[in-house]
């Protein structure tokens, strides 16, 4: 309390960044080991490399069992000796599976799976900061990272070992295992999510039988994220994995995959924290379109449906994604969506937020987009003209005005005659719009009058209706 | 505009071609109606529904009832509803408005006999992706289900529920979960059996979203089932859902547990419900344990006193000692209610030997949310324990919490002083109370200061005027010169409440002199505070004090060099005018206001003129 400066007292508010700095970096533990009763102290086992080959396997399993013991890292002074023994043993195990051949015998698999599950599978604790803003706040780090990191390391080396046999491992790395792994993607610790990403990718690559299941579960996580909780820390990582999965889809695409695109990936654009995973999301969408260009129309119409209405930052992201799509679009597909798309772009170039306007106007620096526009200038120019013409006179930002002039010039060079026609008819067009607007208003006014009349009439009707019903009821008795 | 993309959402069995042709037919009919005044609303609707501006589309949907009214029941049924069913492809916001409108459309389609006409559009809406739209559609469907006759319910409504329950995409199955309980009580026993079967299927659906929806409706559905089926159908479902692999499903089963336990006879609870409840209280996921803690009072009431004594007491102790602060805080919140509802024969014993030790530990918890949750209920224990135990066991805890480092904890204690006052009298606490109040009154966070000000009148009432004058009065005056406006404002309001409590004479002796003295403060904000205080106090102090002591100060301030003070003088005069003697009004107020009305500052002029006209001095 006393640390609060005089300046702060004056306005009573503190800047978020100042408050953040005062807080210490936090780390979190998980609930599980705090429920355990007192631990047995670990005693060091002999080194694996010193053991005779015949005894190596047994020692390996003993060490795996030893590493199943969990420690409380929230208490930094407790069990120091045992913690150090486990750390050294884990290091040795990592080394052992990555440098030796022929050590992964069948009997070791259940021990390995048990050691990994014991260490990494845990209920993630409640977030310390319920309104955690991943863009601004420091993530809470996993307290037991000194051990967990080595366990992940070991897991990866195990999966990547040339002797690794999925046919044996699938008994332990099953659907339940994968489900628990996926839940960990919600970890706040980015280091953990990074390991999980690689691990899951390897599992997807090696266990063909789990692929459909993994996709379905990711699907469920995403749907929950979009429609229920709006909170899941590992969305970007999962999308990154999906990006490479989509890349490997066989053609023609299955209905399941198309459904995933339209019912999961596109609605995902509505999420509040889009900025955190937009790059990965856009990559997935573009991957789909490169696989199957006929999806373009659906995708663009989907994006237009979810176009941000109030968030300019998101609008800039959408424009970025549209440009990525236009980069790979086929001219025939372009024709199908040019009209709705350029209506939206016309709105964007005249956006009062200069970053939105600027991002949209940058489309005209893209050679391929320019060629598409030129091919369809007779369709696009009439859509764009009104907005550009108006904004060239009205926008508050001089950079935007300059960009608009350039765009108008480019468009004029593409079709001078049409451009002149539109310039001359601009005023008349405006007036017609105004008149239409006026007519609409009058129409609604009349309708409202009508309602007043009808409501009074209706009231009488309901009365008689109720009476009739009452009569029916009495007669039924 | 989005017709092609979204046509997949419309679940109508028709093929798109026939749908389009019907739409064209309809549109041509409507277009032809232009000349006729009574028919023209639908033309407007069509036009507006096609408008590119969402807001305009939204407007027309929100006025749907107007249009239906104008069309009459028959055309609403034959033209408007099919048209709406076909056009369900719009933005979610429009769809939400539509779903809501249709819920109260029964009279507009011709009453209960025709209410089934509303089902097709609502069915489509119940399958869309966006949760709010779907939920609203389900809400409307539930609403109109009651308006169906039993026959229509079986012929039209129940088949819809079945279609939704066996839909391909999870959204329709989720929606179905909310509809079983409304149709079950009113259908024949064969249909009932089908409904139970559908519910069972959804409880083991392979998407967790559907299982969550089913779990959240489990309690509601159990309530409409016959007791035998509750035992044979609901209990197995409950047990399965409560051990689901996803904690988000398991925690919903805890909610259902309350309803189910209420339905079962006492002798069945132990075998049918308790194993699951025990398991939930020790779930490995803190979310589930949190839910148990959060629902603890309801659970306690539902299972009755015997099970509470044997099972819930140890479970509650564990929750109070849980390793996650979230769980402990939720449990701490329930301490008072739990103790209150314990069976009378063992209440005191359980509290003293089982609950109080845990509570003592929570007083020094590491997490401030836990402590402040406890502080908000702990005082309530005193009424349960009575005077002696309170003094011996609870008082030390209250005192410890009054000294807590976290202001919220102290505030929560102070805000609940009334419970303790009734049992042992507040004097027991006053020694510790005072430092706590003083510290909160000077807290660096203005919201904390604001909170304590709000308790001042309450404290004053309980501590009495003597104690107040001696210890707290100076604090109340200090707030008047706080650097945050919200505090000064609250302090003014506080003075008014104190005067209401202690009377005008007290005000004259203790408050008014200090307020009046501030009129000479060099800081214009403080001078304005004088005016605000006078505004607040005049009525409570009465005519005499206002005219004799306050008015001269206000009038004197009309010559202030700061315009803000001067126009506040005008405002104050307007405010206290009705309290003043009429002679003073004419002789003293009028000339001052007239002078202010010619001030060079336009705001001063404005408010002076306003006061003149309100006080009718012109």
- Surface of A (281-340) touching B: CB under 8 A: 297-298, 301-302, 304-305, 309, 340
Higher pLDDT, B138 or B413: B138
Coil, helix or strand at residue A141: strand
The pLDDT score that the predictor gives to residue B307 is: 87
Q: Do A123 and B91 touch (CB under 8 A)?
A: no
**CA distance, residue B81 to nearest chain A CA (Å):** 19
pLDDT one-digit tens code per residue, B449-481? 888 888 888 888 877 888 888 878 888 888 888
| Burial of A233 from C-beta contacts in 10 A (0-12 / 13-18 / 19+) | buried
**pLDDT band at residue B35, thresholds of 50, 70 and 90?**
very low
DSSP-assigned beta bridge partners for residue B255:
none
**pLDDT band at residue B41, thresholds of 50, 70 and 90?**
low
Q: Are A203 and A178 in contact (CB under 8 A)?
A: yes
Residues of A in contact with B329 (CB under 8 A): none
- How many Cβ atoms are within 10 Å of A11's Cβ, its own excluded? 10
**Bond preceding residue A252 cis, omega within 30 of 0:** yes
The whole-chain average pLDDT of chain B stands at 85
The pLDDT score that the predictor gives to residue B9 is: 33
Interface test with B, best of A32, A126, A469 (most B CBs within 10 A): A126
The winner for highest mean pLDDT among A277-281, A411-415, A435-439, B10-14 is: A277-281
SS (H, E, C) B251-292: HHHHHHHHHHHHHCCHHHHHHHCHHHHHHHHCCCCHHHHHHH
pLDDT one-digit tens code per residue, A402-438? 999 999 999 888 888 888 888 888 888 888 888 988 8
Interface test with B, best of A6, A12, A36 (most B CBs within 10 A): A12
pLDDT above 90 covers what percent of chain B? 35
The pLDDT score that the predictor gives to residue B430 is: 74
The pLDDT score that the predictor gives to residue A23 is: 42
Residue A142 phi, psi (nearest 5): -70, 125
Taking every pair of C-alpha atoms in chain B, what is the biggest distance, in angstroms? 90
pLDDT exceeds cutoff 60 at B28 = no
Residues sharing a CB contact under 8 Å with residue B497, sequence separation 6 or more, in sequence order: B456, B457
pLDDT exceeds cutoff 70 at A345 = yes
CB nearest B286 (choices: A31, A301, A340): A31
For A408-422, A455-469, B122-136, which range has the lowest pLDDT when averaged over its residues? A455-469
pLDDT exceeds cutoff 50 at A16 = no
**CA distance, residue A413 to nearest chain B CA (Å):** 30
pLDDT exceeds cutoff 80 at B413 = yes
pLDDT above 70 covers what percent of chain B? 92
pLDDT exceeds cutoff 90 at B217 = yes
**pLDDT band at residue B346, thresholds of 50, 70 and 90?**
confident
Plot region of B425 (φ>0 → left; ψ -120 to 50 → alpha; else → beta)? left
* Mean pLDDT, residues A262-268: 93
Burial track A24-57 (b if 16+ CB lie within 10 A, e otherwise): eeebbbbbbbeeeeeeeebeeeeebeeeeeeebe
pLDDT one-digit tens code per residue, B109-121? 888 888 898 999 9
The pLDDT score that the predictor gives to residue A458 is: 53
Q: How far is it, in rounded angstroms, from Cα A63 to Cα A144?
A: 19
What kind and span of H or E run contains B219? helix B208-224
The winner for highest mean pLDDT among A15-19, A47-51, B325-329 is: B325-329
Coil, helix or strand at residue A125: coil
Residues of B in contact with A4 (CB under 8 A): 444
Coil, helix or strand at residue A66: helix
A12 close to B (CB below 8 A): yes
pLDDT above 90 covers what percent of chain A? 45
The pLDDT score that the predictor gives to residue B514 is: 87
pLDDT exceeds cutoff 90 at A355 = yes
DSSP-assigned beta bridge partners for residue A141:
A27
* Mean pLDDT, residues B529-533: 92
Q: How far is it, in rounded angstroms, from Cα B184 to Cα B191?
A: 8
pLDDT exceeds cutoff 90 at A179 = yes
Q: How many helices (H) and strands (E) does chain B have?
A: 46, 0
ipTM of the complex: 0.78
**pLDDT band at residue B140, thresholds of 50, 70 and 90?**
very high
Q: Do B63 and A447 touch (CB under 8 A)?
A: yes
Q: How far is it, in rounded angstroms, from Cα A271 to Cα B610?
A: 52
User: Does the predicted TM-score (pTM) go above 0.90?
Assistant: no
Q: How far is it, in rounded angstroms, from Cα B50 to Cα B42?
A: 12
Taking every pair of C-alpha atoms in chain A, what is the biggest distance, in angstroms? 100
> How many Cα atoms within 13 Å fall on the side-chain side of residue A186?
20
Q: Are B570 and B589 in contact (CB under 8 A)?
A: no
Residue A141 phi, psi (nearest 5): -95, 150
The pLDDT score that the predictor gives to residue B45 is: 66
- Surface of A (121-140) touching B: CB under 8 A: 123, 125-126
CB nearest B286 (choices: A9, A123, A301): A123
Q: How far is it, in rounded angstroms, from Cα B59 to Cα B70?
A: 17
**pLDDT band at residue A283, thresholds of 50, 70 and 90?**
very high
The pLDDT score that the predictor gives to residue B42 is: 64
What kind and span of H or E run contains B205? none
The whole-chain average pLDDT of chain A stands at 83
Q: How many CB pairs under 8 A join A and B?
A: 92
Burial track B388-420 (b if 16+ CB lie within 10 A, e otherwise): ebbeebbbebbbbbbebeebbbbbbbbbbbebb
Q: In sequence order, which ranges of B442-546 are alpha helices (DSSP H)? A: 446-467, 473-479, 485-502, 504-506, 512-517, 524-541, 543-545
**pLDDT band at residue A454, thresholds of 50, 70 and 90?**
low
CB nearest A35 (choices: B69, B248, B323): B323
* Mean pLDDT, residues A319-348: 94
* Mean pLDDT, residues A345-362: 92
Residues sharing a CB contact under 8 Å with residue B406, sequence separation 6 or more, in sequence order: B368, B371, B372
Cα–Cα distances in Å, from B277 out to A205, A264, B290?
41, 36, 13
Q: How far is it, in rounded angstroms, from Cα B316 to Cα B337?
A: 12
pLDDT exceeds cutoff 80 at B23 = no
Q: How much is the CA Rg of chain A, to the nearest whole Å?
A: 32
Coil, helix or strand at residue A71: coil
* Mean pLDDT, residues A322-345: 94
Q: Do A298 and B5 touch (CB under 8 A)?
A: yes
Higher pLDDT, B211 or B66: B211
């Amino acid at each position: 309390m006393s640390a609060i400066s005089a300046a702060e007292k004056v306005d009573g508010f503190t800047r978020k960044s100042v408050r953040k700095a005062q807080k210490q970096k936090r780390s979190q533990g998980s609930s599980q080991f705090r429920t355990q009763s007192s631990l047995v102290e670990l005693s060091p086992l002999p080194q694996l490399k010193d053991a005779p080959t015949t005894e190596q396997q047994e020692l390996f399993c003993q060490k795996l069992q030893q590493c199943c013991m969990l420690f409380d890292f929230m208490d930094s002074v407790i069990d120091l000796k045992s913690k150090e023994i486990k750390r050294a043993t884990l290091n040795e195990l990592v080394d052992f599976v990555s440098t030796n051949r022929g050590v992964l015998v069948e009997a070791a698999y259940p021990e390995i799976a048990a050691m990994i599950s014991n260490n990494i599978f845990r209920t993630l604790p409640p977030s310390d900061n319920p309104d955690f803003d991943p863009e601004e706040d420091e993530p809470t780090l996993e307290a037991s990272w000194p051990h967990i990191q080595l366990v992940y390391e070991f897991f990866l080396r195990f999966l990547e070992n040339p002797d690794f046999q999925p046919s044996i491992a699938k008994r332990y790395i099953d659907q339940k295992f994968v489900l628990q792994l996926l839940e960990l993607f919600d970890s706040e610790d980015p280091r953990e999510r990074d390991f999980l990403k690689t691990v899951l990718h390897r599992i997807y690559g090696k266990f063909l039988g789990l692929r459909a299941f993994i996709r379905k579960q990711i699907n469920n996580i995403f749907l929950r994220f979009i429609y229920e909780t709006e909170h899941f820390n590992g969305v970007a990582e999962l999308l990154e994995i999906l990006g490479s999965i989509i890349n490997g889809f066989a053609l023609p695409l299955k209905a399941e995959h198309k459904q995933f695109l339209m019912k999961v990936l596109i609605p995902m654009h509505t999420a509040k924290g889009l900025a955190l995973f937009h790059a990965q999301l856009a990559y997935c969408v573009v991957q789909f379109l490169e696989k199957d260009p006929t999806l373009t129309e659906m995708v663009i119409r989907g994006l237009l449906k979810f176009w941000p209405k109030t968030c300019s930052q998101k609008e800039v992201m959408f424009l970025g994604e549209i440009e990525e799509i236009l980069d790979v679009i086929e001219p025939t597909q372009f024709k199908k969506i040019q009209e709705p798309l350029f209506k939206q772009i016309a709105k964007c170039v005249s956006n009062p937020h200069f970053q939105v306007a600027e991002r949209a106007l940058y489309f005209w620096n893209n050679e391929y987009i320019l060629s598409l526009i030129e091919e369809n200038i007779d369709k696009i120019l009439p859509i764009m003209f009104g907005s550009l013409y108006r904004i060239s006179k009205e926008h508050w930002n001089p950079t935007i005005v300059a960009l608009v002039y350039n765009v108008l010039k480019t468009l004029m060079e593409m079709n001078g005659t049409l451009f002149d026609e539109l310039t001359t008819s601009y005023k008349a067009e405006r007036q017609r719009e105004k008149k239409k607007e006026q007519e609409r208003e009058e129409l609604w006014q009349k309708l409202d009058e009508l309602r007043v009349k009808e409501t009074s009439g209706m009231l009488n009707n309901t009365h008689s209706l109720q009476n009739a019903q009452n009569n029916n009821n009495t007669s039924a008795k | 505009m989005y017709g092609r993309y979204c046509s997949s959402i419309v679940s109508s069995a028709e093929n798109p071609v026939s749908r389009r042709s019907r739409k064209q037919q309809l549109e041509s009919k409507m277009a032809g109606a232009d000349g006729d005044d009574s028919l023209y609303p639908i033309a407007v609707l069509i036009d507006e529904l096609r408008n590119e501006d969402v807001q305009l589309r939204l407007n027309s949907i929100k006025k749907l009832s107007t249009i239906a009214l104008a069309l009459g029941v028959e055309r609403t049924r034959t033209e408007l509803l099919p048209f709406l069913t076909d056009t369900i492809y719009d933005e979610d916001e429009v769809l939400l408005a539509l779903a809501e409108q249709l819920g109260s459309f029964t009279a507009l389609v011709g009453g209960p006999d025709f209410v089934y006409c509303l089902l097709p559009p609502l069915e489509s809406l119940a399958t869309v992706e966006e949760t709010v739209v779907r939920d609203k559609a389900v809400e409307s469907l539930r609403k109109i289900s009651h308006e169906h006759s039993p026959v229509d319910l079986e012929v039209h409504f129940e088949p819809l529920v079945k279609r939704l329950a066996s839909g391909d995409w999870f959204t329709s199955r989720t929606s179905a979960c909310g509809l079983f309980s409304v149709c079950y009580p009113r259908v024949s026993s064969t249909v009932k059996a089908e409904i139970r079967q559908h519910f069972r299927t959804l409880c083991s659906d392979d998407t967790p979203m559907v299982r969550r929806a089913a779990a959240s409706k489990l309690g509601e559905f159990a309530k409409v089932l016959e007791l035998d089926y509750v035992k044979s159908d609901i209990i197995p479902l409950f047990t399965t859902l409560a051990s689901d692999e996803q904690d988000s499903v398991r925690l919903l089963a805890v909610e259902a547990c309350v309803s189910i336990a209420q339905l079962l006879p006492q002798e069945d609870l132990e075998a049918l419900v308790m194993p699951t409840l025990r398991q939930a209280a020790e779930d490995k996921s803190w979310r589930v344990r949190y839910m148990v803690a959060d629902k603890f009072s309801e659970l306690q009431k539902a299972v009755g006193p015997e099970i509470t004594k044997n099972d819930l007491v140890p479970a509650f102790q564990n929750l109070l000692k849980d390793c996650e602060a979230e769980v402990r805080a939720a449990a701490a919140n329930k301490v008072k209610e739990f103790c209150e509802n314990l069976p009378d024969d063992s209440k005191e014993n359980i509290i003293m030997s089982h609950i109080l030790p845990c509570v003592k530990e929570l007083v020094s918890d590491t997490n401030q949310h836990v402590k402040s949750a406890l502080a908000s209920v702990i005082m309530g224990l005193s009424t349960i324990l009575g005077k002696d135990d309170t003094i011996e066991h609870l008082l030390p805890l209250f005192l410890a919490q009054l000294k807590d480092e976290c202001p919220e904890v102290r505030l929560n204690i102070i805000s609940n002083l009334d419970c303790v006052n009734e049992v042992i009298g507040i004097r027991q606490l006053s020694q510790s109370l005072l430092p706590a109040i003083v510290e909160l009154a000077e807290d660096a966070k203005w919201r904390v200061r604001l909170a304590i000000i709000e308790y001042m009148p309450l404290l004053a009432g309980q501590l009495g005027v003597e104690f107040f004058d001696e210890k707290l009065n100076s604090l109340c005056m200090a707030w008047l010169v706080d650097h945050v406006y919200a505090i000064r404002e609250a302090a003014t309001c506080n003075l008014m409440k104190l005067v209401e409590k202690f009377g005008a004479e007290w005000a004259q002796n203790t408050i008014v002199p200090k307020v009046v003295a501030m009129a000479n403060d060099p800081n214009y904000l403080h001078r304005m505070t004088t005016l605000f205080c006078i505004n607040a106090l005049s009525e409570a102090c009465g005519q005499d004090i206002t005219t004799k002591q306050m008015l001269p100060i206000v009038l004197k301030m009309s010559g202030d060099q700061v315009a803000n003070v001067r126009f506040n003088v005008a405002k104050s005069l307007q405010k206290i005018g009705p309290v003043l003697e009429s002679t003073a009004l004419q002789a003293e107020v009028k000339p001052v206001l007239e002078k202010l009305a010619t001030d060079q500052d336009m705001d001063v002029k404005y408010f002076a003129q306003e006061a003149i006209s309100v006080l009718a001095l012109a």
